[in-house]
Amino acid sequence: MATIRRFEDLECWKSARILTRKVYLYSKDGRISEDWDTLRQFRRATLSIMNNIAEGFGRSSKKERVRFLEISS
């Protein structure tokens, strides 16, 4: 099993990135919502998943890493 050295190597982060891309693509053509406030919140939420995974990866203790993964889910 390979050692993960960067958060970008985590499968959960890769999945969150795919989700974020889809949200942005679908929102451009109006498939998600025509309500601008809801759409912005949806975009921010998907970015938050990626950011929390990345932030947790950088933490030194297992407890902190788990906390950020829980926040992201």
Helix (H, G, I), strand (E, B) or coil at 43: helix
Apex 41 CA angle, 18 and 20, nearest 5? 5
Q: Is pTM, for the whole model, over 0.75?
A: yes
Q: Can you state the percent helix, strand and coil of the chain, rounding each to 5?
A: 75, 0, 25
In Å, how far are 22, 33, 65 from 17, measured between CA atoms? 9, 20, 19
- 69 falls in which pLDDT band (50, 70, 90)? confident
Q: How do residues 5-37 score in pLDDT, each as one tens digit?
A: 999 999 999 999 999 999 888 888 766 667 788
